[in-house]
Amino acid sequence: MTKGYFTLVLHAHLPYIHHPDFEEFMEEKWLFEAISETYIPLLRAFKRLENDQIPFAITMSITPPLMEMLDSQSLQEKYKRHLQALIDLSAKEIEKTREENPKKHKMAKYYHEDFKDLLRIFRDEYDSKILNGFKHFYESGNLEIITCNATHGFLPLMDRYPNAVRAQVKTGKQTYKKHIGENPKGIWLAECGYTAGLDKYLAEEDIRYFFVDSHGIWYADTPPRYGVYRPLITENGVFVFGRDPESSEQVWSAESGYPGDFRYREFYRDVGFDREQEYIKDYLDSCGVRSNTGIKYYKVTGKGVDLGKKEFYDIDEAMEAARAHGNDFAHKKAAQVAHLYDVFDGVEPIIVAPFDAELYGHWWFEGPAFIEHFFRALNHMEAIEPITPPNFIENKLKSVQIDTPGDSTWGANGYNEVWLNGSNDWIYKHLDHLIEKMGELANLYKDTEDELKIRALNQAARELLLAQSSDWAFIMTTGTTVEYASNRTKQHVDRFLKLYNEITNDTINKEDLEKVEWLDPIFKDIDYKVYCTQ
């Protein structure tokens, strides 16, 4: 007897990074790492489940910038060159590790075969378009793909500008339809950021559901009867699902989460940093900056163990851990729904467990195997059933509480401070200024038939959206590649202001416009009139 349901939500997102004017660019490797370490490994796991006729249900947000990058022929070609370089490096590693350590040698051979298989899958199986792989599982009913607002802009800090919020939501919907072929049913609001009233914009686009962090449900206007374990519906008719804190703790807790197990691969030891410069130089970027290659020989070993004292990794031992942890998580989820079913007097709960997709594979190398074993174990349990939100809404939901979620994000401390603090607050006066100017342009030229002016207006809209990416503020807070994030913000602001001056003064430089269209070609079908305020 089914006593409850489980929804795994994977949020797949990267900021739009595309530098066609460079043969290689360090930050483009973020995409390449995600393809190699998360997206293709997930597709492999999905395919093994499908081949063995194991039912699974996963919800995955693939954001508009990520869809646009995965569809870019330029980035596809760069990725294939990137893989070929790793194939060559891993071949060198096979020889170098032969006399170093048997476990290192075993992994060198593993990586060499894995990189070759990644290239085969990407180039031959999916014709360089791995979105087709995800679409296959969407069409089979195992994968619910949802959208996100256009450039992952942080909507709670735009709520003073309805046209800016509408532009983010509408463009996200249009990009989804362009790549998936139909309209999205659900959306992941960037950074899980919600403030009262945002659901109105989702309802306008016929988006049926979204997600909030736990406290968004707990601190709803009216205390919810079932906490985060049943969806609410807003006054605008949009369903809202809350994150289960217990699942998050079990998987991603720094103290007790599965990825911290001593047998798993250590992320922070990589030959890109361990090998001598002369040996590794041909596999670094053009500036010789060291970076991760994905070739890693060490395991977590234990909490607090210094990087220099890590022990050698054994992939067979790690995969056995992933199997055991997948089984353990399935048993815990079954026990959780059985307990909640009794507490709720026979009302079936739904456990919603959202994570960054890149946790599985990129940060936690064995994560895709964990997901696979979790669904294999779940298949033998009667109490719990995997489900997607639309399936739950349409087939399992007999009654629902009308409520307004509380303001919330899934960032540190639960609110807005990750995206608004002393390290990044300077950006918002510029973003607000651009929103106001874009609304002015859209209203002033909404009836223009001047083709060059329309192109410039559309490009101005792109530059505004790109400047609004929440990733730049996030990076400034975390202190990783701050110079790049700051430069990207300033670059898009400068390009917008140049376009604004040329449009309003009828001095559009066609050659300059063509160049910036080439540099920032995201959202080719955008219509600047989405910013009209009247």
> What are the residues facing 5 on neighbouring strands?
350, 385
Query: What's 414's DSSP letter?
Result: G
pLDDT at site 354: 98
How confident is the model at residue 252, as a pLDDT? 85
Residue 68 to residues 72, 154, 292, 422: CA-CA distances in angstroms?
6, 19, 24, 32
pLDDT for the residue 530: 97
Tell me how many degrees the CA angle 483-488-493 measures, rounded to the nearest 5. 130
Sorted by where each starts, the structural domains of the chain and their CATH numbers stand as 4-17+24-71+129-248+345-413 (3.20.110.10), 421-531 (1.20.1430.10)
CB 460 within 8 A of CB 500: yes
Reference 9, options 193, 202, 146; nearest CA is: 146
pLDDT at 529 over 90: yes
Q: Is pLDDT above 70 for 295?
A: yes
Q: At how many degrees (to 10) do helices 162-180 and 427-444 cross? A: 80
For residues 485 and 91, give the distance between their C-alpha atoms in angstroms, rounded to a whole number.
Answer: 35
Provide DSSP, 236-282.
Answer: TS-EEEE--HHHHHHHH-TTT-GGG-TTSBPTT--HHHHS-HHHHGG
Reading the block at residue 436, the tokens are 């106001």
Q: Is the pLDDT of residue 288 over 80?
A: no
- Residue type for position 389: P
Catalytic residue among 33, 114, 191, 407: 191
Query: What does DSSP say about strands 4-12 and 350-356: parallel, antiparallel, or unpaired?
Result: parallel
Buried b (16+ CB within 10 A) or exposed e, 263-281: bbbbeebbbbebbeeeebe
pLDDT digits (tens, 9 = 90+) for 138-173: 999 999 999 999 999 999 999 999 999 999 999 999
Q: Across residues 400-422, what is the average pLDDT? A: 97
Q: Which two tokens stand for residue 62?
A: 């693939």
Average predicted confidence (pLDDT) for the chain: 96
Q: What is the pLDDT of residue 286?
A: 66
User: Residue 367 has what pLDDT?
Assistant: 98
Provide the β-strand partners of residue 353.
Answer: 8
- The verdict on whether 449 is a catalytic residue reads no
Burial of 287 (0-12, 13-18, 19+ CB in 10 A): exposed
Question: pLDDT tens for residues 183-192?
Answer: 999 999 999 9
Which secondary structure element, helix H or strand E, spans residue 350, and what is its range? Answer: strand 350-356
Looking at the predicted structure, is the pLDDT value of residue 134 above 80?
Answer: yes
Which letter does DSSP use for residue 311 in this model?
A: P
- pLDDT tens sequence across 18-51: 999 988 888 999 999 999 999 999 999 999 999 9
How far are the Cα atoms of 104, 106, 310 from residue 98, in angstroms, in the given order?
8, 9, 20
What six digits make up the tokens of 100?
Answer: 């170093």
Q: Distance (Å, rounded) from C-alpha 56 to C-alpha 273?
A: 39
Q: Which residues are 209's β-sheet partners? A: 186, 239
pLDDT exceeds 90 at position 283: no
Q: Among the options 274, 356, 512, 517, which is catalytic?
A: 356
Residue type, 76: Q
Scan for tokens 């950074």, then name that residue. 191
Q: Encoding tokens for residue 137? A: 């599982």
- Per the annotation, the verdict on 235 as an active-site residue is no
What distance in Å separates the CA atoms of residue 92 and residue 98, rounded to the nearest whole number? 10
Is the pLDDT assigned to residue 369 strictly greater than 90?
yes
Residue 429 has pLDDT above 80, yes or no: yes
